[in-house]
Amino acid sequence: MRSVSIGLLVATMWTAPALLQQRTAPKKAPTFPEAIEMATKAADGEQFGTAISALQSAIRDLQKRQRVAVLAGMPKPEGWEIRDEEVDEAAEELSAGMAAVGSTVRRNYRSGDKSLSVEVTANSPMLQMLAMMFSNPALIQADGGEIVQYGAHEAILKKQGGDGQELQILMHDKHLIRVSAQGVSADDLLKIFDQAFVDRMEKPLGK
């Protein structure tokens, strides 16, 4: 009887349906409206941790949309090769949870021996410290820089090395556009990053 029972057990194991191998698909991030709805429901139910997590997802979605809009408004000078830096997803998640960090968009340009590196830091309260420097023209001039006016906004233009330039445009005391140039004159740099460019940044950056 024992041998018969063992035989039946083995036969059952072979004939039973095998467990299917499955891979868990990455969870789709909620859109801004979905995240806001999730946060509202969670807050109403006093599930505050879930509500905060949903709001952070909403911020990440807005940051992605802001990045697209900022890149769309960047200059596209003729004859220049354009390369955008990859998004660091871990850094994006960190910045969504830390209000003081803000978010950063980077783009690089190259034309022969000439190069431009652009970094746009958005929504960073830490930039208020830089605003104090902008309000002191004597200090800027003593450091070799000059003030460039962009309508309601100001920038600092400063020579770097033999043929380098640095342009820092401060908007609303919380957005900074920093351009590092090599092999480009100050006049040519200001032609590329002109008033029209700053005006285009008003919408995606805002007050």
Ordered strands of the 145-150 beta sheet? 81-84, 103-111, 114-122, 175-182, 164-171, 153-160, 145-150
How deeply is 156 buried, as exposed, middle or buried, from its count of CB atoms within 10 A (0-12, 13-18, 19+)?
buried
More confident residue, 162 or 51: 51
Question: Containing domain of residue 191, as a range?
Answer: 79-205
Q: Let me know if residue 40 belongs to a domain.
A: no
- How much is the average pLDDT of 31-59? 95
For residue 38, give the H/E element and its range: helix 32-44
Q: Let me know if residue 91 belongs to a domain.
A: yes
Q: Let me know if residue 54 belongs to a domain.
A: no
Q: What CA–CA distances, in Å, run from 85 to 17, 95, 106, 108, 117?
A: 49, 17, 6, 8, 10
Residues of the chain above pLDDT 90, percent: 63
Which one-letter amino acid corresponds to residue 158? K
Lowest-confidence region among 97-111, 112-126, 188-202 = 97-111
pTM for the full predicted model: 0.79
Q: What is the DSSP letter of 172?
A: T
**Which residues, including other chains, have CB under 8 Å from residue 179's CB and lie 6 or more apart?**
116, 117, 118, 119, 165, 166, 167, 168, 169, 189, 193
pLDDT, one tens digit per residue, over 178-198 is 999 999 999 999 999 999 999
How deeply is 10 buried, as exposed, middle or buried, from its count of CB atoms within 10 A (0-12, 13-18, 19+)?
exposed
Q: Let me know if residue 168 belongs to a domain.
A: yes
Domain count, the chain: 1
Distance (Å, rounded) from C-alpha 50 to C-alpha 72? 34
Lowest-confidence region among 9-18, 86-95, 104-113, 151-160 = 9-18
Q: What pLDDT score was predicted for residue 92? A: 54
Indicate whether 9 pLDDT > 90: no
Identify the band that residue 10 occupies on the pLDDT scale cut at 50, 70 and 90.
very low
Q: What pLDDT score was predicted for residue 130? A: 84
Please report, to the nearest 10 degrees, the dihedral formed by the alpha carbons of residues 66, 126, 147, 171 taken in order.
Answer: 30
More confident residue, 127 or 41: 41
Radius of gyration of the chain (CA): 27
Indicate whether 107 pLDDT > 50: yes
